[in-house]
Amino acid sequence: MPHRIALISDHASPLAVGGNSDIPDPQLTPEIERLTRIAEEEGAGLCCCRKPAPGMVLQAAELHDIDLARSWLVGDILDDVEAGHGAGCRSILLDVGHETEWVMTPLRKPDFLARDLPDAASHIAMQQLLSPLPLERAR
């Protein structure tokens, strides 16, 4: 059965937001970058929409009716793990060499450390088999 997957990015030019065809038109990319630059110059810094804050995760969950308590966030840096935990998800860190700071706090401690995305998917599948509650399924 299919599961919901939401790609969440806080890069200046996100590839996608949400679960469908919300990929920005290439002509919008310069505008997205310009607005991001202005926000940074104005001192926006970290906000609820930039990881490690959970704002984007919470927004995706509300938009797509996702039960975060039964969801996983998979990321390649500890800010991703913190965003997932802050939103109420379990979090997996992909140990692919992108984390450089390794500043550990309880919110930044991954529930699982995976070698790669297939390893993370296997762990999630195994947890689903062991859990009495099914993972979030597409409705």
Q: Which residue has the higher pLDDT, 24 or 92?
A: 92
Domains parsed from the chain with CATH numbers: 26-130 (3.40.50.1000)
Q: Is the pLDDT of residue 90 over 90?
A: yes
CA-based nearest residue to 91, from 100, 101, 80, 105: 80
Is the entire prediction scored with pTM above 0.85?
no
Categorize the per-residue pLDDT at 17 as very low, low, confident or very high, splitting at 50, 70 and 90: very low
pLDDT, residue 63, reads 84
- pLDDT (tens digit, 9 = 90+) per residue, 51-88? 888 988 998 888 888 899 999 999 999 999 999 999 99
Containing 130, the helix (H) or strand (E) segment is helix 117-130
pLDDT, residue 62, reads 87
**How many Å apart are CA 79 and CA 99, to the nearest integer?**
9
Using DSSP's 3-state secondary structure scheme, residue 113 falls into: strand
32: which residues sit within 8 A by CB, 6+ positions away? 12, 13, 14, 24
Containing 91, the helix (H) or strand (E) segment is strand 90-94
N- to C-terminal Cα distance for the chain? 10
pLDDT, residue 124, reads 92
pLDDT, residue 18, reads 38
Contact call for residues 35 and 81 (beta carbons, < 8 A): no
Residues facing 137 on adjacent strands: 3
pLDDT, residue 33, reads 67
Using DSSP's 3-state secondary structure scheme, residue 62 falls into: helix
**How many Å apart are CA 60 and CA 19, to the nearest integer?**
9
Q: Which residue has the higher pLDDT, 24 or 98?
A: 98
